[in-house]
Amino acid sequence: MVWSGQAGGGAADNEDARTLFFTSYGVLNINPLWQMASEVTYLHGKNIWGLTESVDTPVKEAETVDRLLVAVRPTRRVNDNFRWEFTASYGYDKSNWSAQTTTTDYYTAEIAGVITVNADYFSRPQIKPFVTYLYKDAKDGWGADFDNEKGVLQFGVEAEIWF
């Protein structure tokens, strides 16, 4: 999917706003027990948060963002009601907020046990207990809520239902 136009908070009122969004994803059935999902998503936005070029803020320094996400998720069916999911992803964010530019890399790894009606990747409803390791290559890591740690572990349970 590729889309270009004006979108995002502030963009509808900003004639200088420009975005480009691309995503591609899918699931490969490797054999009766294994499936592999993958995703690539890219966003480029310029002036999408309401800041417009001015004498003080030229377009090259106005609000711009480039974001990339690449992820793979192999899953292994155990039986009709349970599968394992293993996810690895990389994210990149380069943002210009006025004259300040920041570049951040993100890495995640997750293991989840999925309880569902049918152990296929697209089966819903599902309950998914998980553990995720997140790494953010930034000076202040994940922020004060996480003691500015760059690497953190998250535990949780996700529930999904699709209509």
Q: pTM of the predicted model, to two decimals?
A: 0.77
DSSP 54-118: -SSS-GGGSSEEEEEEEEEEEEEEEETTEEEEEEEEEEEEEEEETTEEEEEEEEEEEEEEEEESS
Q: How many residues would you count in the chain? A: 163
Render pLDDT for 107-142 as a digit per residue (tens, 0 to 9).
999 999 999 988 888 888 999 999 999 998 877 777
Count of C-beta atoms within a 10 Å radius of residue 154 = 12
Render pLDDT for 23-69 as a digit per residue (tens, 0 to 9).
999 999 999 999 999 999 999 887 776 555 566 655 555 578 899 99
